[in-house]
Structure 1
Amino acid sequence: MGSVDPERDTQARDVYEHVRLGDFDALRSSMTDAANANTTDEQLQSMREYAALDTPSETRVLSWQWNTTSDLSAYEVVHEYDHQQKVVQFSALMVRQGEGPWLVERVHINHFSPAEAALTAFTLQGKTPLHYGVLALAVLAPLFCLFTAVVAGWRRRWVWMIVSLFGVGQLTLNWATGAAEFHVAQFALLGAGYAKGPGALDPWIILVALPIPALLFWLFRGWRPKKPKAGKVSGADHPTAATPD
């Protein structure tokens, strides 16, 4: 995916600063004619109320998207700003005609409190048995896969050693809401993982795959030593005939 364009990133941050500080003249000078015509001062003031007066303590890029046609380019950047009393998400869509300057076509702003952001934090307090069960499985499944692969390698069962590292199916659990889904046609290395988006409201997602190949290894007694192949008998089992004097 690459990284965000530094110039568009800076421009989007400047747009937020114009909104936050109420510098509407500077904001309008960076907007397209259509955006200026469709945006009233009352709307700009309403957007400013969603922002915060204090300087953000941290800024994150949540996402960016770039599209281009023969004569029009569009670039949208979404930032998240941490303030003392609120967290603000701000998106700016910038467009350019041909080789002209980049101008702001649309902005969108939303905010929420730190308490709302804390609801998606990873914590063990107040969770259901499903949470604890999935978390335990997410810890034990990789260990079981690794242990099985080591035993399979020790017994020189190379196919088992490889397939034991994978889990089949995938259970996903939203740690914040407890919503769970199971997908059959999925494979995962070591049978577990986790994911979280960059935003403060993005929940932790726990992913667990069933270690079925590792279970089958033990069910079919793959841990037992291999039997010697037929026909391979040591010379000691065939005494040589005595040579006559």
Structure 2
Amino acid sequence: MFGLRVLIGLAVTALLATGLWSVVQQVGASSELIAGDAPGISEPDRRALAAPIEDVLAGRDAALLGKLVGELDRNQAQEQIDLIQAMMPAASPESSRLTTWRVTRGTNGQALYGTFEYEFPDHIMVAETTLARTSDSDPWLVSGFYFNFFERSALPPPGISLEDRALGFYAFIAALAAIPVFILITFWAALLWPRVRRRWLWSVAVLIGVGTFAVNATTGAASFNIFSFLLFGAAATWSGSMLDSWVLSIAAPAGAIAFWLVHFLAPPRAPIDDAAAASSP
């Protein structure tokens, strides 16, 4: 059983390390604005979503009008295309990526929604495309397209900056780093310490943080939700959009704190084996 506990401990440690490495990679990507496409979409569907945007950028008005669903007014669509092209930055886009997408199916057929972000030297263009078709064998047709433009100077700085921040923010970052370490140490203690009773219950309980305190890494806006839980007591999330900021979250390591209180304040007990721990009331 000792060997099994060690293997479980190594697996949980690897899970935490993998999550940390993923966050580090995403922070680097967001700082350099090099994050890739949203995962899961097939290449044909991605091309279909991008085609109306590329037609507008290239001035292929007739090609886009020919892809519209039958009920859309072509004259109104042409007016919208002309308006978008008039707002378009003079420079060519430097890069593009699909940030979100979803597909729905119903009695009237299928719909595919996607949002792209295009980088220009001084602007970010957000383009949303909606496609529709009756069945899988039919080609996608355009049922809607929307464009918005944002000046880079008005957007939040990319990534997570630690320069010129309030003292409270540094304290929050310290807690963000310390809580998972404290939880991991407690988890190993719950697995391997001989005097622990109800070992497997404690091993699960110490991994969960209770009550989430979240902070926007750019604006500093904070929120608290007592009815929430975080694995390892910390999290860092980013939508993948250049328009959004990182949200950092911590939770009280209640299980880990309770573990040390119980085992330090309780009367000393003789070491017990796993069989005794499992059979204890």
Which region of structure 1 is more displaced relative to structure 2, 42-51 or 180-189? 42-51
**Paired residue for 1:110, among 131, 148, 168?**
148
CA pair 49-176 structure 1, distance change in 2 beyond 3 A: farther
User: How many residues align structurally?
Assistant: 229
Runs of 4+ in 1 over 4 A off after TM superposition: 223-226
Higher helix share: 2
Q: 1:227 to 1:90 in 2, by over 3 A?
A: same
* Distance (whole Å) between structure 2 residues aligned to residue 154 and residue 170 of structure 1: 29
Number of the residue aligned with 1:240: none
Residue 147 of structure 1 corresponds to 185
Aligned-partner Cα distance in 1 for 2:265–2:229: 24
Distance of aligned partners of 1:139 and 1:149 in 2 relative to their CA distance in 1, 3 Å threshold = same
Q: How does 1:16-55 map to 2 (within 5 A)?
A: 16-37=53-74, 39-55=76-92
Against the structure 1 CA distance between its residues 37 and 25, is the aligned structure 2 distance closer, same or farther, given a 3 Å change threshold?
A: closer
Q: Secondary structure at the residue paired with 1:46?
A: helix
Bigger relative CO (Cα 8 Å, ≥ 6 apart)? 2
1:77 aligns with 2:114: yes
The correspondence for 1:137, drawn from 175, 179, 203, is: 175
Question: 1:38 offset after TM fit, Å?
Answer: 5.7
| Contact kept? 2:156, 2:244, Cα under 8 Å | no
Q: Which residue of 2 aligns with 1:172?
A: 214
Structure 2 match to 1:184: 226
Cα distance between partner residues in 1 of 2:151 and 2:265 = 55
- The CA deviation at 1:105 is 1.1
Distance 1:223 1:152, change over 3 A: farther
Corresponding residue for 1:10? 47
Contact preservation (8 Å) 1:50, 1:109: no
In the alignment, is the contact (CA less than 8 A) between 2:131 and 2:143 conserved in 1?
A: yes
Residues 54-73 of structure 1 aligned to structure 2 (within 5 Å): 54-73=91-110
Identical columns (%): 24
**CA distance 1:169–1:127, shift in 2 (3 Å):** same
Aligned amino acid, residue 190 of structure 2: A
2: CA distance, partners of 1:134 / 1:22: 49
Q: Judge conservation of contact 1:61–1:77 (CA < 8 Å) in 2.
A: yes
For 1:112 and 1:7, the matched residues in 2 are separated by 29
User: Larger C-alpha radius of gyration, 1 or 2?
Assistant: 1
Most deviating of 15-24 and 31-40: 31-40
Give the Cα separation in 1 of the matches to 2:168 and 2:208: 23
Say whether the 8 Å CA contact 1:175–1:206 is kept in structure 2. Answer: yes
* Structure 2 unaligned regions, length at least 5: 1-37, 272-281
Per the normalisation by structure 1, the TM-score is: 0.82
| 8 Å CA contact 2:99, 2:116 repeated in 1 | yes
Alignment partner of 2:128: what SS?
strand
Are the structure 2 counterparts of residues 118 and 6 from structure 1 closer, same or farther at C-alpha, using a change threshold of 3 Å? same
| Shift of residue 120, structure 1, vs aligned partner | 5.0
- Output the aligned Cα RMSD: 2.6
For residues 194 and 75 of structure 1, the distance between their equivalents in structure 2, rounded to whole angstroms, comes to 29
8 Å CA contact retained: 2:212, 2:229: yes
Q: CA deviation at 1:165?
A: 2.2
Q: Of 98, 114, 127, which residue of structure 2 is paired with 1:90?
A: 127
Query: What letter is aligned with 1:192?
Result: A
State the secondary structure of the residue aligned to 2:86: helix
Code of the aligned partner of 1:126: D
How far the C-alpha of 1:116 sits from its partner, in A, is 3.1
Question: Is the alpha carbon distance of 1:216 and 1:90 closer, same or farther for their aligned partners in structure 2, counting shifts above 3 Å?
Answer: same
How far is 1:217 from its partner? 2.4
Q: Deviations over 1:104-130 (max 9, x none)?
A: 111001121233334353101233333
